[in-house]
A and B are shown apart, each in its own frame.
Chain A
Amino acid sequence: MARNVQPAGQPAPQNAMEALTPEDAAGQENFDRIIAKDSRVEPKDWMPEAYRRSLVRQISQHAHSEIIGMQPEANWITRAPSLKRKSILMAKVQDEAGHGLYLYSAAETLGTTRDEMMDALVAGKARYSSIFNYPTVTWADMGAIGWMVDGAAICNQVPLCRASYGPYGRAMVRVCKEESFHQRQGFEILLELANGTPAQRAMAQDAVNRWYAPSLMMFGPPDDDSPNSKQSMAWNIKRFSNDELRSRFVGMLAEQVKVLGLTLPDDEIRFNEDTKKWEHGPLDWEEFKEVLAGRGPCNAQRLERRRSAHADGAWVREAAAAYAAKQAAKQSSTNAQKAAA
């Protein structure tokens, strides 16, 4: 397969067309045409190396977020306060493993193996959504995560169903469909608590207070400070800017919180009639950068848990591979005997 061999991290030559082989030039032309038509790029198509790298980065980060994101919720499976809630939570955390798998397989179509991505994650070299580095300290956090964190994720993900890279878009279609219950179950947990005893209600308000700002920051840095966004939008991977999605999300929260009878910890939420956009108070981007840089409350714990699950499972994966090899060898010697006879 013809590939652009532009090495990672180096700027493209001034006159890119001159440096391309005729094959690559034709590939680039075809790629540009696909993007211009808003059609889809498929795994075996020629694509610019930067596009491929950008997708691997985004899809693997997304997959890692699903996998690491299992932990803060798995934390409450054994303590869920009713059997119905226990079933729902188990199904939800299990769905997240499934979503991670859909996304890893989408990323694998770009020529990066899941093992490579997993190794990068446990080595602390890959990023995942910074919100999962906050602890889940009460049951109400299950509600707040479902309502706000999954809510923000859905806002981000729905436009990704139309991402220009086919396998990514298709994985997102599946993810979005399955996620529709995640946000609702979270909202209903909070609704139940908000209408419960005063202590339950306080628990719900406290969780909303803690998860509000981190969930807004899930959309990424403000547009003027988001280096990758522009290129991503030009490639039809991203469809809306970080701030645009964040503003929409705040608008939804502001309406939905009324149904809960709770409040959002932000006095500055308002709908700007001139810009027709929702506005919110300032966010602590320094904290965001700190957590992203590995200095959040649970970064070390989350990575260690993934690392140990992977390491503890190594002997199982080896055993199954060894068994498969033995069976295959047995099969081929049987076939050989049959052929000889």
Chain B
Amino acid sequence: MDHSSSLGGDASASATRITPGFALRPEDIALAAEQGTATPGGDVADYALRLGDDALILAQRLGHWISRAPELEEDVALGNIALDQLGHARSFLTYAGSAWGKSEDELAYFRHEPEFRSAHLFEQPNGDFAATIARQFIAANYQFPLYRELSKSTDPMLAAIAAKAVKEVDYHLDHSTQWVLRLAGGTEESRRRMEAGLALMWPFVGELFEDDPLIAKVGDAGVVPSSLKEEFDRSTGAVLAEAELDVSGHPMATGGGRLGRHSEYLGFILAEMQVLAREFPGAGW
């Protein structure tokens, strides 16, 4: 192939307009809380906390890929997904924290392990690229209908955060689907790894769709997890069928993340994430 056929970019294209765009940012949420225009009740705050913790831990995991991805284009792609998740985490945590007079950073850096509410799926190690894709595939197929429904929440701030997030997760869904198809249908090795990745991650599907008393308490402000399971089965099933992958034999693990009972991994994640902030409590950065 004659690579010199590449055209090499255009000055006017480089000069394309760069804008920050318009979207709800964590700073806006903090400001609204400060002005007292939007502060959640305790139950809604608890609910926002779990959504925020899921996204935060996932972002922390994905962030590790940057500079280690299978191809440079994928460094950029995984980086975008990690940034999206971190953005969602910051919004949910900022909103949750406003109920208790705590900032996003106080919640992220100064809570202990049992105070976190993340589900076990998000805590699972990156493993190889296939394991990460398996985790992404489950996460996106869960978060997409969740945020879509949450965008109709009776709590206007949760609805606004979800409305922004669902568009981004739509892309995560597409990204993971593309890769599940390619890894399953690529080489023998990639298929073996994709199957192994799904075997590692699938047991943590169950926990995502478990209802508990908090869900009843938040009512129409939240989304009932079990109500999303059918759609999850359908959407993942279609892709898995196309990829000729079978996950039916994988057992479901006992969860407990929503109650503060975590995997062995969370302690290490927090040790790394919190070390510097805890070394300088009260410091600004």
Residues in A lying within 8 Å of B, measured CB to CB: 1, 42-44, 67, 70-71, 74, 77-87, 90-91, 93-94, 97-98, 100-102, 104-106, 108-113, 139, 166-167, 169-171, 173-174, 177-178, 189, 192-193, 195-197, 199-200, 305, 309, 312-323, 326
B236 on interface, CB distance cutoff 8 Å? no
* B4:A318 contact, CB within 8 angstroms: no
Given A79-B276, A109-B4, A315-B193, check contact A323 B182 (CB 8 Å).
Answer: yes
Given A83-B104, A109-B8, check contact A70 B67 (CB 8 Å).
Answer: yes
Closest 7 CB pairs of A and B: A313-B70, A319-B186, A167-B8, A319-B190, A94-B79, A316-B70, A109-B8
> Which chain B residues numbered 167 to 204 have a C-beta less than 8 Å away from chain A?
181-183, 185-187, 189-190, 193
With A84-B285, A109-B7, A316-B71 known, 5 other A-B pairs at CB within 8 A are: A83-B105, A94-B66, A97-B66, A101-B76, A177-B18
- Set of chain B residues within 8 Å of A177, measured between Cβ atoms: 14, 18
In the complex, residue of chain B having the shortest beta-carbon distance to the beta carbon of A78: B272
B72 on interface, CB distance cutoff 8 Å? yes
Given A43-B7, A170-B8, A316-B190, check contact A78 B60 (CB 8 Å).
Answer: yes
* B3:A81 contact, CB within 8 angstroms: no
Given A112-B3, A192-B284, check contact A67 B72 (CB 8 Å).
Answer: yes
* B76:A169 contact, CB within 8 angstroms: no
- Interface segment among B85-93, B143-151, B218-226, B256-264: the answer is B85-93
In the complex, residue of chain A having the shortest beta-carbon distance to the beta carbon of B275: A79
Could you jot down 22 A-B contacts, CB within 8 Å? Answer: A43-B7, A77-B66, A78-B63, A87-B83, A90-B86, A91-B79, A94-B83, A100-B72, A111-B2, A170-B11, A170-B14, A174-B14, A312-B129, A315-B187, A316-B70, A316-B71, A316-B129, A318-B187, A318-B189, A319-B183, A322-B186, A323-B181
- Set of chain B residues within 8 Å of A321, measured between Cβ atoms: 186
In the complex, residue of chain A having the shortest beta-carbon distance to the beta carbon of B62: A90
Q: Which of A43, A78, A93, A323 contacts B186 (CB 8 A)?
A: A323
* B182:A81 contact, CB within 8 angstroms: no
Q: Once the chains are docked, how many angstroms separate the CA of A305 from the CA of B190?
A: 22
* B73:A101 contact, CB within 8 angstroms: yes
Given A173-B15, A313-B129, check contact A111 B4 (CB 8 Å).
Answer: yes
**Distance in Å: Cβ of B87 to nearest Cβ of chain A:** 7
* A97:B284 contact, CB within 8 angstroms: no
Q: Once the chains are docked, how many angstroms separate the CA of A90 from the CA of B64?
A: 10
Given A43-B7, A196-B284, A320-B182, check contact A82 B277 (CB 8 Å).
Answer: yes
Interface of A is mostly: helix
> Which chain B residues numbered 5 to 58 have a C-beta less than 8 Å away from chain A?
6-11, 13-15, 18, 26, 56
Q: Once the chains are docked, how many angstroms separate the CA of A82 from the CA of B90?
A: 10
- Set of chain B residues within 8 Å of A67, measured between Cβ atoms: 72
> Which chain B residues numbered 267 to 285 have a C-beta less than 8 Å away from chain A?
272-273, 275-277, 280, 283-285
* A43:B8 contact, CB within 8 angstroms: yes
Q: Once the chains are docked, how many angstroms separate the CA of A97 from the CA of B104?
A: 28
Q: Which of B2, B11, B186 contacts A320 (CB 8 A)?
A: B186
In the complex, residue of chain A having the shortest beta-carbon distance to the beta carbon of B64: A78
* A87:B187 contact, CB within 8 angstroms: no
B128 on interface, CB distance cutoff 8 Å? yes
- Set of chain A residues within 8 Å of B11, measured between Cβ atoms: 166, 169-170, 173
Q: Once the chains are docked, how many angstroms separate the CA of A104 from the CA of B82?
A: 24
* A71:B67 contact, CB within 8 angstroms: yes
* B66:A70 contact, CB within 8 angstroms: yes
**Distance in Å: Cβ of B267 to nearest Cβ of chain A:** 14
Q: Once the chains are docked, how many angstroms separate the CA of A197 from the CA of B283?
A: 7
- Set of chain B residues within 8 Å of A81, measured between Cβ atoms: 109, 276-277, 280, 283, 285
* B273:A78 contact, CB within 8 angstroms: yes
Q: Once the chains are docked, how many angstroms separate the CA of A82 from the CA of B89?
A: 12
Given A81-B280, A312-B128, check contact A318 B66 (CB 8 Å).
Answer: no
